[in-house]
Structure 1
Amino acid sequence: MKFETSAGPVDFTPTRLIVAGWTGRDRAAVQHHIDELAAIGVPAPSTVPLYYQCAPALLTQENAIQVLGGETSGEAEPFLAKIDGTIWLGLASDQTDRALETYSVAHSKQICEKPVANTLWRYDEVVDHLDQLELCSWIKENDEWASYQKGTLASILPLASLMDGTTFENDTAMLCGTLPAIGGVRPGADFKMSLHDAVMKRTIEWSYGTAVLKAIA
């Protein structure tokens, strides 16, 4: 993958991909969500937060992905990458198969590609105001963009604690959890997302489309 940064272009070939789940900072709200999902058959996590292991090849900078069946949806997440000892912050979508979640959340994460924006910020440039960064996403419904997620990183566990909770070595990438979906989780063929830094007056943006492959038994 190739990224634009304030220091010029950066190449990154990750050897490990972590998808952190259940990372909400409000632990009571996280437990409520776990209970809600359990009621519809989604297994509860063994620990909170939980670090799902996924294939690095799932990361993509293409503007179109293909999924199996119509039950997948995206979710905007902070994206961390450690490259030659430097930690970078970016933006990614954890496209997930919601039907497969009822069997295994880990399997539902692994089956979908993870679109990643092509811009990175140095982590040390934003670490003192991370909670002020605004994360947003939109899905296209009835040919119009509808707000799907909106909030700040203050709703997610501190990124430093997420890195401390696992082995975050060189060539590791991590998706760091997300915000609740406005109006509930639902599929959207077109997805766009942004990470806005009001302090340094800059924004990372990315969008992609999803083509559905027919599940043939």
Structure 2
Amino acid sequence: MIFKTSTGDIEFVAQQLTVAGWTGRSREAVDHHIQELADIGIAPPTSVPLYYRCSTQLLTQDAEIDMLGSDTSGEAEPLLIRLNGKTWLGLASDQTDRALETHSVAHSKQVCPKPVADTLWEFDAVSDHLDQIELASWIFEDDEWKQYQKGTLAMILPLTELLSGSGLAEGGAMLCGTLPAIDGVRPAAQFKMALHDPITDKTITAEYTTTTLPVVA
């Protein structure tokens, strides 16, 4: 993958992919969400947060992805990358199969591509105001774009804490968890997301379309 940075384009070949889950900063909110999922048959995590290992081949900068069935949905997440001895901050979507999630969260994440924006910021350049950085997403629903997620990184565990817990090494990439979905988690064929820094007034954006493949039995 090629990323734009303030000092020029850089190439990144992922050696390891981690998807961090259950990363809400409010433990009360996380516990409430765990119970909500338990009520619909999704097993609780063995620890909080939890670091799921996924195939690096899932990372993509394609504007179109194919998914089997109609039960997948995206969620905007901060992305951390270790490259050239530095940590970089970007944006990705943890596309997840919600039907499979009721059987195994790990499997539900492993079967879906993870769309990634084409821009990175140096982590050190924003580390002093991470909690002010805004994360948002929208879905195209009922012939219009609707806000799907909105908040700041203050709603997610500190990224430095997630870095330490994951042991992210050179060549590693990690999706860092997400924000609640407005009006509930649901699929959409078109998804767009943004990471906005109000201090520098810079924004990372990405948009992608999901094509649903038929489930042939």
Residue type of the alignment partner of 1:123: F
CA distance in structure 2 between the aligned counterparts of 1:20 and 1:33, rounded to whole angstroms: 15
User: Which residue number corresponds to residue 34 of structure 2?
Assistant: 34
User: Which residue number corresponds to residue 132 of structure 1?
Assistant: 132
User: Which residue number corresponds to residue 11 of structure 1?
Assistant: 11
User: Which residue number corresponds to residue 144 of structure 1?
Assistant: 144
Question: Secondary structure in 1 aligned to 2:87?
Answer: strand
User: Which residue number corresponds to residue 167 of structure 1?
Assistant: 167
Deviations 1:141-186, CA, capped at 9 Å, x for gaps: 1120000000000000000000100221100000000000000000
CA distance in structure 2 between the aligned counterparts of 1:161 and 1:120, rounded to whole angstroms: 20
Deviations 1:88-142, CA, capped at 9 Å, x for gaps: 0000000000000000000000000000000000000000000000000000011
Question: Secondary structure in 1 aligned to 2:166?
Answer: coil
User: Which residue number corresponds to residue 72 of structure 1?
Assistant: 72
Residues 58-207 of structure 1 correspond to what in structure 2 (within 5 A)?
58-207=58-207
- The gaps in structure 1 that reach 5 residues or longer are none
CA distance in structure 2 between the aligned counterparts of 1:27 and 1:112, rounded to whole angstroms: 27
Aligned residues: 217
CA distance in structure 2 between the aligned counterparts of 1:27 and 1:195, rounded to whole angstroms: 24
CA distance in structure 1 between the aligned counterparts of 2:11 and 2:43, rounded to whole angstroms: 37
CA distance in structure 2 between the aligned counterparts of 1:7 and 1:176, rounded to whole angstroms: 25
CA distance in structure 1 between the aligned counterparts of 2:78 and 2:38, rounded to whole angstroms: 26
Question: Secondary structure in 2 aligned to 1:188?
Answer: coil
Residue type of the alignment partner of 1:138: W
CA distance in structure 1 between the aligned counterparts of 2:87 and 2:166, rounded to whole angstroms: 15
Question: Secondary structure in 1 aligned to 2:125?
Answer: helix
Deviation at 1:48, TM superposition (A): 0.2
Question: Secondary structure in 2 aligned to 1:165?
Answer: helix
Aligned CA-pair RMSD:
0.4
Residue type of the alignment partner of 2:192: K
CA distance in structure 1 between the aligned counterparts of 2:193 and 2:109, rounded to whole angstroms: 19
Identity %: 62
CA distance in structure 2 between the aligned counterparts of 1:167 and 1:79, rounded to whole angstroms: 15
CA distance in structure 2 between the aligned counterparts of 1:60 and 1:166, rounded to whole angstroms: 22
Question: Secondary structure in 2 aligned to 1:118?
Answer: coil
- The gaps in structure 2 that reach 5 residues or longer are none
Question: Secondary structure in 2 aligned to 1:186?
Answer: coil
Residue type of the alignment partner of 1:106: A
CA distance in structure 2 between the aligned counterparts of 1:17 and 1:81, rounded to whole angstroms: 9
Question: Secondary structure in 2 aligned to 1:195?
Answer: strand
Residue type of the alignment partner of 1:193: M
Deviation at 1:45, TM superposition (A): 0.4
CA distance in structure 2 between the aligned counterparts of 1:206 and 1:75, rounded to whole angstroms: 12
Flag as ranges the 4+ runs of structure 1 deviating above 6 A: none
User: Which residue number corresponds to residue 216 of structure 2?
Assistant: 216
Deviation at 1:16, TM superposition (A): 0.2
Residue type of the alignment partner of 1:95: Q
Question: Secondary structure in 2 aligned to 1:160?
Answer: helix
TM-score (norm 1): 0.99
